[in-house]
Structure 1
Amino acid sequence: MAPRKRRPTNVQADPELLLKMFTTVARARALEDALALHIRDHGFAGFWHPGKGQEGAVAGACAALRTDDYLFYQGRGATWPLAKGMGLQPIIGDLLGRVTGSTGGKGAGVPHWADPALGIMGEGATLGSVYPLAAGAALSAKMRGTDQVALADFGDGTSHRGTFHETLIQAASWKLPLIYFCENNGLSVSTRFDDVSPTPNVADRASAYGIPGVVVDGHDAVEVHRVTAEAVERARAGEGPTLIEAKVTRVGGHWEGDAQQYRPADFLKDYQDPLEVLRTYLGDDRAETADKIVADAVAEVAEELHRAEAADLPDPQIIMKDVFV
């Protein structure tokens, strides 16, 4: 276990918010660990891209959003739908291609969780599609006169796509209620970010579009929540987009089973486990509560995984369901 991060003495986090984020990260971590074992023991219908180590950034960001705010996520880990309010069974059911999944079994392997009632709008067909899709949702909110915001989550590798720039220049010009949220784990599959980016931070590019660019420690959900809440407030006020870059650690490989021969042996030497960081914020007086949350999360995930394994596979005709033409 990584050493616990010392809790900043100048931060007064809301106790209810802390418990909410800790619970989200605990459930996400339990799911990550259970899936790793399931894949090892049973195989998998598709590639699973683990998000272990990045859960805190996601929990902090989602805690700043409302249910009716739009979320467009990248396909690493399962914290985004979980933090936005989706139950474990729709998440696991999709991963195993069962009818209990949020897409009824169409999202097996690489997931495409979706539930518009929760603002979870699914994942695009290619990495980089989140930008115009999220901007379209933000434009819709602006045209309808609501104060909803749209969040586009992406990795550092995807920040090099043309859609990043094409969308952001228009969104900044129109002051769309859009948040670009980058989970920068420093690796695009096996390519180091530092080797391919002319700037040390993705957020440095924000100045070219006249919008704020913020770099935050993605292991610290409290700090991520703070900066995301500021971006949300700015967007709701009609002041336009913000680019947030959360520096995170991808503890596992690009996919489950990746040998990671491209990484040095000590790559985790400065890693701070986001679950333990949140535990320090909770303090010693709530240690038993934290332990119970973790234990309950492990038990809940085990139960829901067993339930998903026992669920039916979809009829092949489901592929034609929800198709417009």
Structure 2
Amino acid sequence: MPPMTDEQLLHVYRIMERAILLEQAVLRLIEDGSARLLLHSGRGQEAIGTGVCAALRDDDMLFYSHRGLTQLLAKGMAPGPLLGDFLGRTSGATRGLGAGIVHAVDHSLGLMGSSGTLGGGFVLSAGAALGARRLGDDRVSVHIFGEGSANRGTFHEAANAAALWKLPMVWLCENNGLSVSVAHRDATSIEDVADRAGAYGMPSRIVDGQDVEAVYDAVAEAVARARAGDGPTLIEAKTLRFRGHYEGDPQTYRSKEDIAAAQQRDPVRIVAEKLAARGIAGDRLGAIRNEEAAAMEAAITQALAAPKPGPERIHEGLLAPRETAA
């Protein structure tokens, strides 16, 4: 695959900065009582969402992970609708009916949502790939998931069907080595989740999940393969989680040294170094950060000003009509 262009890397850097600012904004809203929710931070894993989405078309379908803020932004969703979802406002992607990351959906951007149960995305993504095949188009279905959910039975059921039917599907496992607080080695019998692909006759690849170009290269190749009718691919991105499983997690299962070592491989810094090596000055990156910071403050103000849904919304989306009084 051709390398990422300067403009692609600059866009990746912008989305990474946007994701960091959005997480910081959500934490502020939690602290001041404006939002009551549980945030699963994706800090440290930004290269995965940006690398995946850089390899997709607008109409390709993405089932994102529960650390999916970067993934949502990289696929094209603006911060405003996400903030609206967090705050339960009508300006949200679900117009006030969502509950944050795992319920943000925008089919016009190919954002299909995320299963409320970890492991549910395997069968959903396979079903979407089957739907694309039946409709006769060449869209690809992509699912990003953590290594812990790969131990669910749905992984094996969907992998078998996808490989058997050569569905246009790409799975990417973001393996940060921790299933909540349990180390990967204590929960999974193999070191590499990618090894499971061979049992289904599916190709696989292991990449450095901190390097956006490595992620992009692997996904672009897998997407091209899927679009050509050659079936699914399993990619495992070895990555690092900087923060706890949830905000407020004391992380007693990790040492300070482990966290500090992980932060040395910050994907944002790696992208900045790549751009510097290409002769792109740091003041341009500084300008991007300032632009994104100003836009985020404006998005927060607009989201807070949006109304909450009224009681009339409770009957929307029902399969059966509401009974009326005689």
Whether the TM-score (by the shorter chain) exceeds 0.5 is: yes
Alignment partner for residue 175 of structure 1, among 161, 166, 170? 166
1:287 maps to 2:276: no
Alignment partner for residue 78 of structure 2, among 70, 87, 91? 87
Query: For residue 258 of structure 1, what is the aligned residue in structure 2?
Result: 249
Contact (CA 8 Å) 1:172, 1:209: kept in 2 or not? yes
1:244 to 1:255, Cα distance in 2 relative to 1, 3 A: same
- What one-letter code is carried by the residue in structure 2 that aligns with 1:309? L
TM-score of the aligned structures, taking structure 1 as reference length: 0.93
1:40 maps to 2:35: no
| Equivalent residue pairs, number | 315
* Cα deviation, residue 215, structure 1: 1.0
1:131 maps to 2:122: yes
Runs of 4+ aligned residues of structure 1 deviating over 4 Å after TM superposition are none
1:21 maps to 2:12: yes
Query: For residue 296 of structure 2, what is the aligned residue in structure 1?
Result: 301
- What one-letter code is carried by the residue in structure 1 that aligns with 2:86? L
Q: Which segment is superposed worse, 186-195 or 298-307? A: 298-307
1:310 maps to 2:301: no
CA distance, structure 1, for counterparts of residue 233 and residue 307 of structure 2: 43
- What one-letter code is carried by the residue in structure 1 that aligns with 2:272? R
Contact (CA 8 Å) 2:89, 2:309: kept in 1 or not? yes
Partner secondary structure for residue 97 of structure 2? coil
Contact (CA 8 Å) 1:31, 1:301: kept in 2 or not? yes
* Cα deviation, residue 244, structure 1: 0.8
Q: Deviations over 1:46-78 (max 9, x none)?
A: 211111111111100011011111111122141
Contact (CA 8 Å) 1:45, 1:109: kept in 2 or not? no
Alignment partner for residue 218 of structure 1, among 203, 209, 221? 209
TM-score of the aligned structures, taking structure 2 as reference length: 0.92
Alignment partner for residue 202 of structure 1, among 193, 198, 223? 193
* Cα deviation, residue 38, structure 1: 2.9
Q: Which segment is superposed worse, 96-105 or 297-306? A: 297-306
Query: For residue 6 of structure 1, what is the aligned residue in structure 2?
Result: none
1:322 maps to 2:313: no
CA distance, structure 1, for counterparts of residue 28 and residue 307 of structure 2: 22
Q: Which segment is superposed worse, 284-293 or 246-255? A: 284-293
1:156 maps to 2:151: no
Query: For residue 4 of structure 1, what is the aligned residue in structure 2?
Result: none
- What one-letter code is carried by the residue in structure 2 that aligns with 1:174? W
Partner secondary structure for residue 266 of structure 1? helix
Contact (CA 8 Å) 2:68, 2:101: kept in 1 or not? no
CA distance, structure 2, for counterparts of residue 189 and residue 100 of structure 1: 32
For structure 1, the 5+ residue unaligned runs are 1-10
* Cα deviation, residue 83, structure 1: 0.7
Alignment partner for residue 96 of structure 1, among 84, 87, 97? 87
Alignment RMSD (CA, Å): 1.6
Query: For residue 67 of structure 2, what is the aligned residue in structure 1?
Result: 76
1:298 to 1:316, Cα distance in 2 relative to 1, 3 A: same
Partner secondary structure for residue 76 of structure 1? coil
1:110 to 1:19, Cα distance in 2 relative to 1, 3 A: closer
Contact (CA 8 Å) 2:69, 2:101: kept in 1 or not? no
CA distance, structure 2, for counterparts of residue 254 and residue 43 of structure 1: 22
1:247 to 1:34, Cα distance in 2 relative to 1, 3 A: same
Query: For residue 237 of structure 2, what is the aligned residue in structure 1?
Result: 246
CA distance, structure 1, for counterparts of residue 286 and residue 210 of structure 2: 20
CA distance, structure 2, for counterparts of residue 229 and residue 120 of structure 1: 18
Contact (CA 8 Å) 1:179, 1:231: kept in 2 or not? yes
Contact (CA 8 Å) 1:91, 1:102: kept in 2 or not? yes
Identity among equivalent positions (%) equals: 45
CA distance, structure 2, for counterparts of residue 221 and residue 213 of structure 1: 18
CA distance, structure 2, for counterparts of residue 77 and residue 44 of structure 1: 18
1:235 maps to 2:223: no
1:261 to 1:300, Cα distance in 2 relative to 1, 3 A: same
- What one-letter code is carried by the residue in structure 1 that aligns with 2:138? D
Partner secondary structure for residue 245 of structure 1? strand
